[in-house]
Structure 1
Amino acid sequence: MLKKRIIATIVVKNSMAVQSFSYKEWLPLGKPYCLAENFDRWGADEIVLLSTDRQNNGPDFELIKSISALGLTTPFTYGGGIRNSKDAIEVINSGAERIVLDTVIYDNISEIKLISEAVGKQAILASIPLIKENNGKISYYNHRLNKKEDISIYLKKISDLQSLSEIILIDKEGEGSLGGFNDDFVNEIINYTSLPILVFGGIVNDHQISKLLSTPQISGILIGNTLNYKEHSIKKIKNSLNSKQIRFHKSCG
């Protein structure tokens, strides 16, 4: 059985690490490299940095280079502002091992094949922000246009792609809350794709983490806000879970 991952997530706005609340409100936390150093020492299986304000500016290469310069032993993944294969190559050359794509999948699906050819399928993750409407309908949330979209159109694009390694499902409304990740999102996505799934948003307790990780198609959990206020929080989470299910590092032992 493949070991599943606990992935530390750093949300960035204006080059500052922030605590995000549904991507509507922001609480400054400090320099991203400080959080990255902590997560590296505490035994994260991967560090994902999501720059939320790069839609019109391209990737934050200086930030990527500053994280890379830390010499982390933990794999580092970057998302934000990647529009084409040129951006993707420069992000990898700046020090990220993998990239997260969102808007480019929606706007220019043909570019994904070029990005995959440039950096390799194993380096590409798709980010899918989702919301559940009052009538129970699940929709894709388009951050750039600030509106809901028919999820079936987006997922059809994903299911036709052969150029992705994993999907990140983001509970847009749950992100930053204490309400927990909406399990209905996973149930919806697995009807469209067999790709491994990562989940992010509102995950705050060990019980839900264990439940989510028991889903075969889920390959890992992204956690952001919960990790920022408890020293060695990743170690504590891992110690509470089934050791056969997750990865352990010496720093977590």
Structure 2
Amino acid sequence: MTVKPYKSSEGSKKTQVAGMFNNIAPKYDFLNHFLSLGIDKIWRKRAINLLKDIPNPLILDVATGTGDLAIEANKRLNCKVVGVDISTEMLKVADEKLVKRELTEVISVQEGDSENLPFENDTFDAVIVAFGVRNFENLNKGLTDMGRVLKPGGKMVVLEFSKPAYFPFKQLYLFYFLYILPWLGGLISKDKAAYTYLPESVLNFPDGKTFDSELVKAGLSPIKRYKQTMGIATIYFSEKPKQ
């Protein structure tokens, strides 16, 4: 079943996701850090650290949003990053950050579709994405296209929400995720549907071993999964086979 943000709308998931992020862009960063108690910042650092052995990498940040992961990559790896996203309003926030931090020479962002990336084959040393693949309209197409723009032997790091498995944390987390988070997120962002969609999309996402299988279907080779904070999120580390 395809989960969409706005159930009363006839638009495609891709169109709805773009509209949703345009709506919540002004409050997105605050809500991200507030609703996760700042833990999302730690997850991003751990994700980027997996790429520390690649010398002078050129990195593509898919679904870059407001640019937090791209900025973290530049900070930790001293590298150039290209970010793409389908939401123009999120990219405006990212641009403001890059100008304010004087990073426009090393990080660039542009509008782009994750399932039809505007780059040549074998361009990037690494592809990164945080909390984005869950929003793809066609997961296989998105993963395959990210693999296409990776150089042979290049690495992919996917940070995505997952489902905790153990009692009692699982039950406590699901109560927060299904009831408290949508209420708070909707109240602050003025878009309740966006924060109802968040837990629905997570619960319907093929996480864990199932996502590893999706990576294999897309022509990538899983290396390792790293569960974060008792399974709230997972970092998937994979590579494009050398030719």
With the shorter chain as reference, the TM-score category is: 0.3 to 0.5
TM-score of the aligned structures, taking structure 2 as reference length: 0.36
Structure number with higher helix proportion: 2
Structure with more of its chain in strand, by fraction? 1
